[in-house]
Amino acid sequence: EDQVTQSPEALRLQEGESSSLNCSYTVSGLRGLFWYRQDPGKGPEFLFTLYSAGEEKEKERLKATLTKKESFLHITAPKPEDSATYLCAVRVGGSEKLVFGKGTKLTVNP
Amino acid sequence: DAGITQSPRHKVTETGTPVTLRCHQTENHRYMYWYRQDPGHGLRLIHYSYGVKDTDKGEVSDGYSVSRSKTEDFLLTLESATSSQTSVYFCAITSSRNQETQYFGPGTRLLVL
């Protein structure tokens, strides 16, 4: 069965304190790994797509990396506005379905 | 902005009542999806559509039906709502410009009493 596990469930950081969120997956035939940001009461907002091990993508303070078993979302010098729930999802070959993890709730204190 | 709107944004209904949620898109995207989001679960796919009158089931399709009679509209119907269908429902599309990525609407919060 295809599975996506995100850790930690929740993370509190001080402004400027860098850290990483983890997304581990067991799927048959990865066709893409996706990171989304979700603010309370809103729909998920697309951040990155990664397709193959070794690939990296960056956007402002966020950097996503991918290995054969997991992905990391690195947050460098976070600001309070980075507070959100970060969702990881995978698309499996031959399927239109995205399998989502349960998310990591990030809180950045000023 | 993927040009997705959902209506209603909030709804309270009673058990046994039929409910229809609407997803509307303005950019002629071929693929449309319905997900539900519940505490303790990731987003789960209910149904999706790959064209007018072409739909398929997702992992949690029991108790739901869908219809797509026009490219721009994808309707989700709860024939007889139950309390277990209290959830936040999100519509998503796959962009014609980036066919691997799903973009989500703002969501509909449904409470079944």
Query: pLDDT tens, B3-57?
Result: 899 999 999 999 999 999 999 999 888 899 999 999 988 899 999 999 999 999 9
What per-residue confidence (pLDDT) applies to A1? 79
- Is B102 an 8 Å CB contact of chain A? yes
Inter-chain CB proximity B50 and A100 less than 8 Å: no
3-class state of residue A98 by DSSP? strand
Instruction: Give residue B106's identity as a one-letter amino acid code.
Output: P
- Is B106 an 8 Å CB contact of chain A? yes
Question: What is the average pLDDT across B70-95?
Answer: 96
Inter-chain CB proximity B104 and A103 less than 8 Å: no
What per-residue confidence (pLDDT) applies to B35? 97
Q: Which residues pair with B20 in a beta bridge?
A: B77
| Chain B residues lying within 8 Å of A45, measured CB to CB | 104
Q: Which residues pair with A56 in a beta bridge?
A: A65
B65-84 burial string, b = 16+ CB within 10 Å, else e? ebbbeeebebbbebeebeee
- Is A91 an 8 Å CB contact of chain B? yes
- Is A78 an 8 Å CB contact of chain B? no
Q: Is the pLDDT of residue B95 over 80?
A: no
State pLDDT tens for residues B38-51.
Answer: 998 889 999 999 99
What per-residue confidence (pLDDT) applies to A104? 98
User: Which residue has better confidence, B42 or B96?
Assistant: B42
- Is A27 an 8 Å CB contact of chain B? no
What per-residue confidence (pLDDT) applies to A64? 98
The owner of tokens 């071929």 is: B30
Size of interface A-B (CB pairs under 8 A): 51
Ordered mean pLDDT values, 10 residues apiece, chain A (110 residues)? 93 98 91 95 95 95 96 98 97 82 97
What per-residue confidence (pLDDT) applies to B1? 57
Inter-chain CB proximity B42 and A41 less than 8 Å: no
**Which residue in B50, B101, B106 is closest to A34 by CB distance?**
B101
Q: A84-92 and A98-100 as β-strands: parallel, antiparallel, unpaired?
A: antiparallel
Inter-chain CB proximity B42 and A103 less than 8 Å: yes
Chain A stretch 42-71, residues whose beta carbon is closer than 8 A to a beta carbon of chain B: 42-46, 49
